Structure 1
Amino acid sequence: MTLIDVVTSLSGGAINTLRAAFKAGPLDDGDVPSKAGRDELVSLGLMVKVIIKGDWGYNACTYKGAYGVRGLDEKVAGESVARHHQPLDKALPG
């Protein structure tokens, strides 16, 4: 499965959460649009739980998640998403 396949199959809550983490993250647990979406993203390696300056309860987009958001936005805009059509485990640059 490719990265673009993964992000296009995400739930609406996961897509909203991924976009929020990408644009405004890291997000406090209380600011996550969808807890279920966040859990879906964490299980796929698109988001991680992080500690910020000793405070627990934050969520951040991973590089893989960022590439997924960019690929999804390009697909919506009708641009080429060829670079996102590689296996999920190979979706990051060397």
Structure 2
Amino acid sequence: MADWQQEIVAQYPEQLLRGLLHSDGCRFVNWASKPQVDGEVKRYYYVRYMFSNESEDIRRILTDALDLLGIPWRRPRVNVVAVSRREGVEVLDRFVGGKS
């Protein structure tokens, strides 16, 4: 990005993330299961955000904005960025919201 673009992103990272996640992302409930000591399997549900885009440049813009806000993310696949830690999801929930 050009310097002037980076300045705008630094001023408005929430709006940028909202737009990117509404265009190429989603918010959904994921689950995982874990066996308990008594042999019973417990299922855990948690909310996460995922963003998919084939452009490395666009993914970098997204991850730079996430880093700017201190939101932890990971790359489960080469073209996907995921936010699944509770504290990161809570921050995104404050300004991303559901798609309309």
Bin for the TM-score computed over the shorter chain: 0.3 to 0.5
> TM-score, with normalisation over the residues of structure 1?
0.40
Select the structure with the greater relative contact order (CA < 8 A; seq sep ≥ 6).
1
More helix by share: 1
More strand by share: 2
